[in-house]
A = this chain, B = another copy of it.
Amino acid sequence: MEKRCWITDQPLDIQIITEKVIRREAGAINTFIGTVREFTNGRKTLFLQYESYKEMAEKKLEQIATEIDQHWPEAVTVIAHRVGRLEISDIAVMIAVSTPHRSDSYEASRYAIERIKEIVPIWKKEHWEDGEEWIGDQKQTRPGIPLKGEIK
């Protein structure tokens, strides 16, 4: 069976990833795409480097997809995370969720990205204009993990 969650050092393809969740039962698809931003708090990023413990990271992504199955039984979820050197505007992570109705697609997608930041062992090295820094913890903001029904 084709994986629904994976880590890759290749560019993430928006079209291919989204098409994986299109199906006759769904009326809604929400995608989240995380890209490399040039400026963070006024500091300029030149490029990023992501590293992961691949097997464990894929296992954790799969765990998140399973949590979504439990909370949103009608959802179909795909999650891909890129590692290696990423330039400005490159896609680091992509989530696609399809559901019969739109509310669930937004909620499940949001849940996925918050959980990725929380539990997936992927480390980011910021190559700033004025230095380098390993960001072991991906959480920039942690507004809490929204569960089904909590996003209105």
Any B CB within 8 A of the CB of A135: no
Q: Which chain A residues numbered 28 to 43 have a C-beta less than 8 Å away from chain B?
A: 28-39
CB within 8 Å for A33 and B29 given contacts A141-B103, A146-B152: yes
- Is A73's beta carbon under 8 Å from chain B? no
Kindly specify which of A16-24, A50-58, A64-72 makes contact with the partner chain.
A16-24
Cβ of A27 to closest chain B Cβ, rounded Å: 3
Residue tally, chain A, CB below 8 Å to B: 42
Can you list 14 A-B pairs with a CB-CB distance of less than 8 A?
Answer: A14-B14, A22-B89, A24-B88, A25-B38, A26-B35, A27-B35, A29-B33, A30-B33, A31-B31, A103-B141, A103-B143, A106-B109, A151-B151, A151-B152
Q: Which residues of B contact A152 (CB under 8 A)?
A: 143-144, 146, 150-151
B residues near A85, Cβ cutoff 8 Å: none
* Complex CA distance for A31 and B24, rounded to whole angstroms: 19
Q: Which residues of A contact B (CB under 8 A)?
A: 14-15, 18-19, 22-39, 88-89, 98, 100-103, 105-106, 109-110, 113, 140-141, 143-144, 146, 150-152
Contact B28 A33 (CB under 8 A): yes
**Known interface pairs A14-B14, A27-B36; 9 further A-B residue pairs with C-beta atoms within 8 A, sorted by A's residue number:** A18-B31, A18-B33, A22-B89, A26-B89, A29-B32, A29-B34, A30-B30, A30-B31, A143-B152
